[in-house]
Copies of this chain bind each other. A is one copy, B any other.
Amino acid sequence: MREFFNVIPPDEALETLLDRLEVTVRAVIVPTSQALGRVTAEDVVSPEDLPPYPRSTMDGYSVRARDTFGASEALPAFCQVVGEVAMGSQPQVSLATGHAAVAYTGGMLAEGADAVVMVENTQCVGDNSIEILRPVAPGENVIQVGEDVRAGDTVIPKGRHIRPQDIGVLFSLGITEVAVAQRPRVAIVSTGDELVAPEESPVPGQVRDINSYSVASLVREAGGLPMHIGLVADDYEAQRLAAMDGLERGDILVFSAGSSVSSRDLTVRVLDELGPPGVLVHGIAHKPGKPTIVALVDGTPAFGLPGNPVSAMVVFGILVRPVIQALMGRTEPPVTHGVHAKLTKDIRSATGREDHVQVKLIESDTGILADPVFGKSNLIRTLVEADGVVVVPLDDGGLYGGDEVFVRLY
């Protein structure tokens, strides 16, 4: 086994892995109605022009624009209303000079019309006659054929996360099925002699497994499919068999470690010996995520997460989530969601280490406050209380109470 003398910054650890990762996105076809939250596997190309006919953007009257030229409140243009084009209908009416037809937002124009006058810029002057108070240019208040989307245009590029509005857009083009990236399967192995399953009653010395369940939920949120491989003892052979099972069944392997150092040491050996290149990173310059393992085993990314539940969660966000998204070919950089808040207390840190400190958000008269949730490591309570984390950058010695900070929300 190689030795690892230095911890490296978290983003370098991620790059080290991503640089060696060969991504082949597997596409599956799903009904558009079930595509929410998936990632497009191919460019989605419009089969048709949108709109397919010139469409009014206003309620008013379709007209021949030239009939309105020079119109003003003082000298309105007079038009005869010769009919209407009902919503959802084709025009039954054709305009001659000085004619207008009632038009609706989203509806078609009368034959011969080339612009729409807003109803607000007209006034009725008796049955079937209007005065137009402002001129319109040809094409005004009209969306032309293909002005929105042209047949053959890429409407959603590949690698994009599908949002509610995208579902609407796909349906608007009659696209009822879409090719999305298969969800990466994330095999989760829990290790630790002290761990028992949640439904068991631990005897003194034992604790229930937490991390594999919060990690499974995080996998789901990130767009992956969690697969529980099982709970294994701190034993080299048991870990090795579980890892082989996980590598066969998963696209990513995650060891959710017990809290002891010996458990982690076994995981390092297992991940280093199962296939090349093995362990890439052992230890990151991060608090509380230092004891993290990043490996690549015959092309499959593998991680050993720290045993501390807070650490496991934070490291998942930094390293595992981006890899899940990379395997789906997701191209846009996931923007970090959060809020700006004012820190209530000092946070001490060490230069050369990126600290993630859990905070609780408090609404106050002076804006949102971020109150650090400290506590002995492994306290469950801090997990429930915190709303997010504040990052103290690598080269920063700490933050002060009153500082404006960005809180990454859970």
Taking beta carbons and an 8 Å cutoff, which residues of A are in contact with B?
32-33, 36, 50-53, 55, 57, 59, 85-91, 104-108, 143, 147-149, 155-156, 163-169, 171-176, 192-195, 198-211, 213-218, 220-221, 234, 258-263, 307, 309, 313, 333, 335-340, 361, 363, 368, 376-381, 383-384, 386-387, 409-410
Contact = CB atoms under 8 A, between A and B. Distances in A.
Contacts of A163: 217, 410
Contacts of A204: 52-53, 90, 108
Given A106-B307, A204-B108, A165 B337 contact: no
B258 A87 contact: yes
Contacts of A338: 337-339
Given A167-B217, A202-B52, A381-B149, A107 B260 contact: yes
A165 B384 contact: yes
A193 B87 contact: yes
A260 B84 CA distance: 13
Copies of this chain present: 2
Contacts of A378: 55, 57, 105-106, 143
B410 A143 contact: no
Most central of A218, A260, A336, A386 by chain B CB within 10 Å? A260
A384 B166 contact: yes
Given A53-B205, A207-B172, A148 B379 contact: yes
Given A164-B217, A198-B32, A340-B340, A106 B383 contact: no
A380 B260 contact: no
Contact of A36 (B55, B148, B221, B384): B221
Nearest to A206: B88
Contacts of A384: 155-156, 165-166, 169
A233 B102 CA distance: 19
B214 A380 contact: no
A88 B205 contact: yes
Contact of A335 (B149, B193, B259, B409): B409
A156 B383 CA distance: 11
Contacts of A174: 198-201, 208
A168 B383 contact: yes
